[in-house]
Amino acid sequence: MASIMIKKAGEGLVSQAHRNADVGPTSGSSVVYEIQNVPGEVSVDDVIAAFKTYKPVDKVYEIDWSALSK
């Protein structure tokens, strides 16, 4: 299982974040999320696509893959 860091920009763009990024709001209008327990066969693009349809809870920046893959 892997963790994938993704960043959601203020204007809605979702992309992969640097693996050493700190989770939470950035100094700009972006927010970095860590998607945990991602199976090895799931690509970063799959994670980003799933996250685009997910409504994150306020102040929760670590999300389990199972919550996204429902």
Domain-wise residue ranges, the chain: 2-68
Confidence of residue 64 (pLDDT cuts 50, 70, 90): very high
DSSP H helices in the chain = 44-52, 65-68
Model confidence, pTM: 0.92
Q: What is the pLDDT of residues 16-38, one digit of tens each?
A: 999 999 999 998 889 999 999 99
Determine the Cα–Cα distance for residues 65 and 42; give it in Å rounded to an integer: 10
The confidence score (pLDDT) of residue 69 equals 80
Beta bridge partners of 16: 6
Longest distance between any two alpha carbons in the chain, whole Å: 33
70 pLDDT above the threshold of 80: no
Residue 36 CA neighbour count, 13 Å, CB half: 6
Determine the Cα–Cα distance for residues 70 and 63; give it in Å rounded to an integer: 13
Mean pLDDT of 27-54: 94
